[in-house]
Amino acid sequence: MPQQMLVDTVRVAIHAPEGVVRAGLVSYLRHDRELTEVPVSDVRDGDVVVVATDVADASALESLRGLGGGADVLFVLVVAGRQWRADVSSAVDLGVRAVLWHDSFAPADFTRTLLTVAQGGGSFPASLQGTLMEQVQVTQREVLVPRGLAAFGISSREMDVLRLVAEGEELSQIATRLCYSERTIKYVLYGVMKRLQLRNRAHAVSYAIRSGLI
C-alpha cells in the first residue's frame, strides 16, 4: 500500500554530487513526517533546495543560479569542511537562506533548518552572520546614507509619509505635519509606488509594514 503524503508536507530537493552524501541527507528527511523528497530534476517544484558542496566559493554560487533556472528558489547550503570563500550577501541574493557545516549537525538540526527556511526564516553560522552584518553596515554607510536612503532604498522622508498614511492621516494633514505642500506629499507617494511597483497607498503601507520599515 503506497504511503500517504501529508497535505502540508514541505517538498525538498537535494542536489549532492557525491552519492554517499546525498543518501545520508535523504535519510535525514525520514526523521520528520512534514518533509518529503522531490527529484532534483524538479528543483523548481521544491519548497526548499538543499545543495551540498565541498567549498562555498564563487563557482558554487554560480551553480545555484543555474540550478534555480531563473526562478525564485530557497536554498540550504551544506558545506563540507567549513570552507566559505564566497560573498555572503551575494549568496543571500541568490536565495541562500541557511548554511550548515557538514561535520557539525545532527538529523534533527537538518530537518529543523529545512522547516525554518520553508516558513520564511533563515539560519547561518555565527561567523557568517557577523560577516553579513558587516557587509550590511558597509552598504548602509557607503551607499545608502550618502544618498539619503535607508534599507530597501526608502528615504527617511518617504518613511515618514508612509508612517503617517498608515496612521490614517489625510495628505493635507501629512503636508502640514511635515512642512511640505500637499503636492509634494503626492509626488513622494507616487515616487515610492512607482519605484517599488506598488499598486496603491494600501499596498504601499502593507509593503512598509511587512518589510519592517514602519
Instruction: Please say if the pLDDT value at position 181 is more than 50.
Output: yes
Torsions phi, psi for 75 (to 5 deg): -110, 145
Is residue 5 in a domain? no
Is residue 135 in a domain? no
Provide mean pLDDT across the span 28-41. 84
Same domain, 27 and 102: yes
**Of 126, 153, 177, which residue sits at a domain end?**
126
- Tens digits of per-residue pLDDT, 160-169? 888 898 888 8
Q: Average the pLDDT over each of 2-11, 90-99, 196-205 and give the range with the smallest value.
A: 2-11
pLDDT number for residue 192: 83
Instruction: Please say if the pLDDT value at position 38 is more than 70.
Output: yes
Instruction: Please say if the pLDDT value at position 3 is more than 50.
Output: no
Provide mean pLDDT across the span 69-87. 80
| Cell numbers that stand for 75 in this block | 536554498
Instruction: Please say if the pLDDT value at position 144 is more than 60.
Output: no
Query: Would you tell me the crossing angle of helices 156-166 and 182-195 to the nearest 10 degrees?
Result: 100
Provide mean pLDDT across the span 39-56. 81
**Cβ-Cβ contacts under 8 Å for 74 (sequence gap 6 or more):** 47, 48, 49, 95, 97, 117, 118
Residue 6 burial (C-beta neighbours within 10 Å; 0-12, 13-18, 19+): exposed
Instruction: Please say if the pLDDT value at position 158 is more than 80.
Output: yes
Domain count, the chain: 2
Is residue 2 in a domain? no
pLDDT number for residue 1: 35
Provide mean pLDDT across the span 133-145. 59
Give me the domain span that covers residue 203. 143-210
CB 180 within 8 A of CB 160: no
pLDDT number for residue 109: 92
DSSP 82-96: EEE-S-HHHHHHTTE
